Amino acid sequence: MFQTRTRVNTRTELNVYAQFSATTDSTTGSSPKRSKRYKALVSLVIAVLLAGAGSIAPSQSTYAAGEKKPFPQQVSYPGIIKPNHVTQNAMNQSVTQYYDYWKGKYLKNDLSSLSGGYYVKGEITGNPGGFAALGSSEGQGYGMVITVLMAGHDPNAQTIYNGLFKTARAYKSSNNPNLMGWVVADNKNAQGHYSSATDGDLDIAYSLILAHEQWGSDGSINYLQEAKQMITNGIKASNVTSNNRLNLGDWDAKNALNTRPSDWMLSHLRAFYDVTQDPVWIQLIDNLYSVYNDFSNAYSPTTGLISDFVVNNPPKPAPEWYLDEFKETNIYYYNASRVPLRIVMDYAMYGDPRSKAISDKLTGWIKGKTNNTPSKIKNGYKLNGTEVGDYATAVFVSPFISAATADSGNQAWVNAGWDWMKNKKEDYFSDSYNLLNMLYISGNWWKPGSADQPALPNLALNAAAVASSIEGISFEADRAIDGNLQSRWASSEGSDPQWIYVDLGTVKALGSVRLHWEEAYAVKFKIQVSNDGSNWTDAYTETNGSGGVQEIPLNNVSARYVKMFGTERGTPYGYSLYEFEVYPPN
């Protein structure tokens, strides 16, 4: 009687309702006006189907109000691969399940000394100076980035984010109030007591840029203003050295050569440049690449590994027990394990070939070391690749999977790594960093644009739209141009070609098209334009689409009509777009 898919989502529910309605009409002759008994029966059928499908979640999250980039964004980065043995929808579900677990275990708002203050509960290394440490600025940074990226899935994300920011500001550094002290403790006297740690502040400042783009800055917190203040008067003033390196905190010297490679968050630094237009950030990026390459050429030419701390010029590994933190400060250990994610994101989001070169070197070495088995990665290596660790933990494994996304030859490795990491649950440090890697690998860590640039208008919003076919009721063409990422156009299933076009009303200059694909995406399609709706010209051709959110540049094009013409499906279904957006030139 029913022909439903194994992937149960809002599409299936509507299909069931429509097919059940049609079957009832033809077999019983009932009127279109449904009785309460009939509606109850339909609800029962849907519930049974959903229960039979197990715990499969809807393909699209329920959004809270106000998000401009609600989860899932599922971006496809140029030159970057994703796991291809699972659907995008399944990856999104794995991320939301892991976030819900992480939030329940580590995200807390029980500070008696700071009402409304949130923090990420986790262990610290180092001496908390007489206070009982609950967390750190490092964890605060992780939590703020994670929360803003999960907004849309979590309807309380902005409240939580603002609470995390409240804690970051209350626990300000004793040296520079624009930075955060490195320890969170439930005591008023701990607020303003500690100096800073560079990594936490970099993530916090970066998260403020994301928050500005997610919610805007006209609410109770001016996220953009706070970001600029922290970037310039905090990080630049205290952490960027005269040698174009990053020191370890605002307690450290401005001419220091000692630096922590896990602080080299290159895509963060590019975002800092975008919002400040200060060339110091580009100079810093260039020098950090030089330091990395000089270090690797001298100490890890076959592995590409880097030590937890780097000192001197020319750069070399710090000695053992550096800063009395732990013995292994001279090798690839629990600080440096985070580096591959920080490096590869500069290639994914900004296309820097230096990032890809480092990522490829690391990936080639670790795949050979483990015989292409991610679960054989160990928690510690000497710079020559000798194992010093004895088990696999996510903070070591997941960044190596992220680095491998920079080359399509690593597909099997990325697939195996995703399967390993998505259910790995350990402790605050590994779990938090694992979730950050999951957000990146699934395409749900989106690139912030220039936060000073006014948003371009979506020319297609609420215009007229026409499609070659529709799957059924509630999947009409105009669902793709209504500005609602919970509704969508879907074509009939199982046939090519299919298309949808939008009528902009008059001929307009075009700058780009943005396609928000549902799970039913196009591998091959064209963007075509026309001035009369009859004669079409190819403006863009895609031959290897992978779904997600696709940004398509249109150069020197003017048209009244814009069409997505799909010629090869990426799934057995049809073609489906949450939104078909058209933008003018910048």
Tokens coding 481: 């141009």
What's the rounded Cα separation, in Å, for the pair 495 and 571? Answer: 11
**Which residue matches tokens 């814009």?**
562
Closest alpha carbon to 119 in 130, 132, 129, 127: 132
CA distances from 405 to 132, 322, 434, 472, 563 (A): 40, 33, 15, 37, 31
**Which residue matches tokens 């967390």?**
135
The count of other CB atoms within 10 Å of the CB of residue 84 is 14
Closest alpha carbon to 429 in 199, 195, 92, 128: 199
What's the rounded Cα separation, in Å, for the pair 321 and 334? Answer: 13
* Omega before 314 within 30 of 0, i.e. cis: yes
393 DSSP 8-state letter: -
What's the rounded Cα separation, in Å, for the pair 385 and 113? Answer: 47
What's the rounded Cα separation, in Å, for the pair 539 and 556? Answer: 10
Closest alpha carbon to 140 in 185, 94, 98: 185
Tokens coding 269: 């630094």
Q: Which of 110, 186, 199, 201 is catalytic?
A: 199
Contacts for 584 with CB less than 8 Å, ≥ 6 apart: 456, 457, 459, 508, 509, 510, 511
What's the rounded Cα separation, in Å, for the pair 73 and 370? Answer: 33
Residues recorded for the chain: 586
Tokens coding 184: 């969170």
Whether the CB-CB separation of 580 and 502 falls below 8 Å is answered with yes
Q: Which residues on adjacent β-strands are paired with residue 456?
A: none
Which parts of 235-385 fold into alpha helices (H)? 237-238, 266-276, 280-299, 339-350, 353-369
Diameter of the chain by CA atoms? 85
Tokens coding 326: 């732990």
If you compute the radius of gyration of the chain from its CA atoms, what whole number of angstroms results?
A: 25
199 is a catalytic site residue: yes
User: Active-site residues: which are they?
Assistant: 199
